[in-house]
Amino acid sequence: MKTLKPKDTGDDVRHLQELLRKYDATVNVNGTFDAETLNAVINFQKNSKLQNDGIVGYLTWEALLFPNNNSAEALSEQDFINIAALLDIEVAALKAVKEVETGRLGAFIAPGKPTILFEGHIFWSQLKQRGISPDKFAQGNKDILYPAADRSQYQGGLAEYNRLERAEMINREAALSSASWGMFQIMGFNHAACGVNNVCSFVEMMKQSETKQLLLSARFIHSKKEMETALRTKNWAKFAQHYNGPQYEQNQYDKKLAAAYQKYSVNHS
């Protein structure tokens, strides 16, 4: 959504004013970012513990659209519509990414356990980044600690938590950083791009709800401008390259995204 500031005018400002009124703000819905609207925005930002600068950027829009983002309820169609609006993308494109990343597994494997996939080669590099020699722990841990990507080590489902928990015994933060989390399978080491200071807090947020997972994933996409633009323009190869890495073609992520988008695009037409 467009960043708004005082003196702006138009339908986006009108939408902002309509949302502010839902929070009992006294503003006229006139499409002009006037002094009354500015005061309402600053008060809302203060109450939402956001930077109260009066500028309506991504996080302020997010807070306006998702007042109860800790809800344990399943996602609604309106949630997808709101996130698509935040990112200025099509709902069908957003749903395509969700489908390709988690398929039929969804957001959670079990209550309080987000869908994960543990990557032993990432764990190898995460340990090295922390000054810890992976070779020291490789003996007896060949299924969770290896220098190059190895899909044969995946166990899937709850069994991935067994791998994660063993890795946590070596180093918790490195282990949590080495798994992909939630319905959009965001790697733990991307926590900062999701607006979270540390990976432990990121994981706790992922555990809270489908809504929280969606919000974190949207922040991640928004933080990577080239990736966000690729999703907006439906450049599937470029998006997959940014989202899944340079080896995306091996798994045909771009083709899967295009097919999923086509399915949801037809359903929304």
pLDDT at 114: 96
Rounded Cα distance between 33 and 237, Å, is: 39
Give CA–CA dist 195/33, Å, rounded. Answer: 27
| Cα distance between residue 180 and residue 215, in whole Å | 15
Helix locations, 224-252, DSSP H: 225-232, 236-244
- Strand boundaries in the chain, DSSP class E: 108-110, 113-114, 116-118, 179-181, 186-187
* Distance, CA of 214 to CA of 16 (rounded, Å): 22
Mean pLDDT calculated for residue range 34-43: 97
The pLDDT tens digits of the residues spanning 211-220 come to 999 999 999 9
Strand 179-181 to strand 186-187: parallel, antiparallel, or no bridges (unpaired)?
antiparallel
CA angle 55, 57, 60 (to 5 degrees): 90
pTM exceeds cut of 0.85 = yes
Helix (DSSP H) and strand (DSSP E) numbers for the chain? 14, 5
Q: Nearest-5° angle of CA 57, CA 59, CA 63?
A: 120
Instruction: Give the C-alpha distances (Å, rounded to integers) separating 169 from 69, 72, 120, 174.
Output: 32, 30, 14, 10
158's torsion region: left (phi>0), alpha (psi -120 to 50) or beta?
alpha
Tell me the per-residue pLDDT of 154-197, one tens digit each, with 9 for 90 and over.
999 999 999 999 999 999 999 999 999 999 999 999 999 999 99
Percentages of the chain per state (helix, strand, coil), in multiples of 5:
60, 5, 35
Q: By CB neighbour count within 10 A (0-12 exposed, 13-18 middle, 19+ buried), where does 22 fall?
A: exposed
Can you say how many angstroms the Cα of residue 239 is from the centroid of all Cα atoms in its chain? 14
What is the model's pLDDT at position 42? 97
At 47-84, the pLDDT tens digits run: 999 999 999 999 999 999 998 755 556 788 999 999 99
Mean pLDDT within 126-151: 96
Distance separating alpha carbons of residues 71 and 257, to the nearest angstrom: 28
The rounded percent of the chain whose pLDDT value lies above 70 is 96
Q: What phi, psi does 33 have (nearest 5°)?
A: -80, 80
Helix (H, G, I), strand (E, B) or coil at 145: coil
* pLDDT for 74: 77
What value does the mean pLDDT take over residues 230-251?
92
